[in-house]
Structures are given as C-alpha cells and as structure tokens.
Structure 1
Amino acid sequence: MKKDNIIHARTCVYNVNYHIVWSTKYRKEVLTENIQSYLKSLFDEIAHDKDFKIAAMEIMPDHVHVFVSAHPKISPSYIAKMLKGISARKTLMQYPELTKQLWKGHLWNSSFYIETIGSISEDVIKKYIENQKTRG
C-alpha cells in the first residue's frame, strides 16, 4: 500500500478516491473554452466549500471528468450532486445564452458514471484477502 496517499483524520485513516464522469444534456458540445475555464474554477470552489479535493479534472466540449478524493463520510453521490447541481445553476446564470442551446435549460444529463480508485488494483486486493490465513 502506498503511504503517501493516506490521509489521517480524527477517527480514521483513509485513501478514498472516485473517478466521476458526466455529460451535457443530449451530449451537446456547448462547453466552450471560456465556459471550461469558468467550470474548473467553480469545481475547485465547490470542492473546497464541501470539503473534498479534486486531484485532477478535464472538461471537454460535451462532458466532464473529475478525480476526487474525499473523507469516507462524504458519499460519492453527494459529491456528484454538488458538482453538477451548483455548477449548472451558476453556469446558466453566468452564461444565459446556454439555455437557448439546451432544451428546457438543463446543462447536465441526469446520470453520471462513477468508479472507485485506489492505489492498488482490484486483483491485488482480492489476492491479499484470500491469502490472509496463509500468512505466517
């Protein structure tokens, strides 16, 4: 296990990471460079306010990738909800012309993809658990 990724909190020690991906409504390519820059800044602000960290992010014209680290008490669905909900409201206020390009003024598709990411692979963890009783 990599020791540099471990975070020490008051009640636990953890390394909890998520890769979250979501798209614009109808996969419309509406996220221009200016909007992408605005969203990156906004995502950092949301993460700071909601007490999680964005380790990496990339915004494409029609979808978003974020790599997030969070305390175990913060659910992954809460992280996605905060990033999508707050960013949609503020972005549509900042760029009202987007509502004309998106049906009913929804910026994001309602669904998202999420994957847990650790410092070691799934296979390594399975083997480690399976070999617990054989360790000397």
Structure 2
Amino acid sequence: MSYRQIFYQIIFATKNRCKTITEAHCEELYKYIWGIVKNKKCSLYRINGIEDHIHIFSDLHPSTSLADYIRDIKSSSSIWMKSNGLFPEFRGWQESYGAFTYSIKERDIIINYVRNQKEHHKNEPFYDEYKRLLIEHGVEFDEKYLL
C-alpha cells in the first residue's frame, strides 16, 4: 500500500480571460469537474471561481501526472461547456495554468481561500492574484505570458 498527501491549488482561466462562466450555471460546472476529479481517483476539497477563471483545490493520486490531470479536466469540461448550451459565450480554456502545492497545515486556509473567491476578487483582480501567487511560490515567469 502506498501512502501520499499531495495537495494542489490549480488555477486556470477562460480563453482570453473572457467572462463566460455564468453565475447561474457555475455550480453545474463545478459538479461536472468534481466527477472528473473522482474518476481520476483524486479528492476534491474545494472548487470555486468567478466569470473568467476557476480554482480547484484537490489532492493528486500517484497514478496521475499533474499535466494529464489538468489536461483531462480542461478538455472534458470544455467539451461539456460547449455542448450543453449553458455557457453560450464560452470558447475554451487558456493553454496555461498555475499549480501550487500546499501542506496539510495549510489545507483549511486554502479551502477557505477558494471558497471565498467571489468576495476576494472584489478587492484583487485575477492578474494581480495570479502574479502574487507565482511570486509567493517562487515560480519564475515572463510577465508577457500573464496577459
């Protein structure tokens, strides 16, 4: 038996950061993504976002690579969003994403952070949030790719 504890906060935006995730149907999107997460043998601790991006806080099963996990979430949810008529303006997800690891001691803090995304973004735009997280986690980046 293998044991692991790999917590990730994953963030990705809609294509061109267009505001296409409607408040009226975001819960249905989150439930759909939860199904993908469960099928990958991962646990979802919290998912939330606003009109132009989402945050997923989950663990990662050792049989799944991070890149495959995110690719499957983005591709499956994109197909679902384009085909069901609930998100008529949605054109896809941006290619890039952010993925940040956390310890068990930080789990509840990150769950609350993701839970409060709508309130959080009244004070901090997505661009500033994303840049701040990259800096806090020591991730080197080229600012031209953040636009």
TM, length-normalised to structure 2 = 0.66
Cα pair 2:81 2:87 within 8 Å, conserved: no
* Unpaired segments ≥5 residues, structure 2: 107-147
Measured in 2, the distance between the counterparts of 1:47 and 1:54 equals 7
Structure 1 residues 112 and 16, CA, compared in 2 at 3 Å: closer, same or farther? same
Residue 82 of structure 1 corresponds to 72
Larger strand fraction of residues: 1
Residue 41 of structure 1 corresponds to 31
Give the secondary structure class of the aligned counterpart of 2:76.
helix
Question: Considering only aligned residues, what root-mean-square deviation do their CA atoms show, in Å?
Answer: 1.8
Taking the TM superposition and a 5 Å limit, the aligned residue runs for 1:92-131 are 92-95=82-85, 98=88, 101=89, 106-119=91-104
1:81-133: CA deviation from partner (whole Å, max 9, x where unpaired)? 111110000110012762xx45xxx3111111111112258xxxxxxxxxxxx
Residue 63 of structure 1 corresponds to 53
- Count, aligned residues: 106
* Unpaired segments ≥5 residues, structure 1: 1-9, 122-136
Measured in 2, the distance between the counterparts of 1:18 and 1:77 equals 12
Percent identity between the two aligned chains: 21
1:67 partner letter: F
Which is further off, 41-50 or 15-24? 41-50
Structure with higher Rg: it is 1
Measured in 2, the distance between the counterparts of 1:117 and 1:74 equals 18
Measured in 1, the distance between the counterparts of 2:82 and 2:29 equals 11
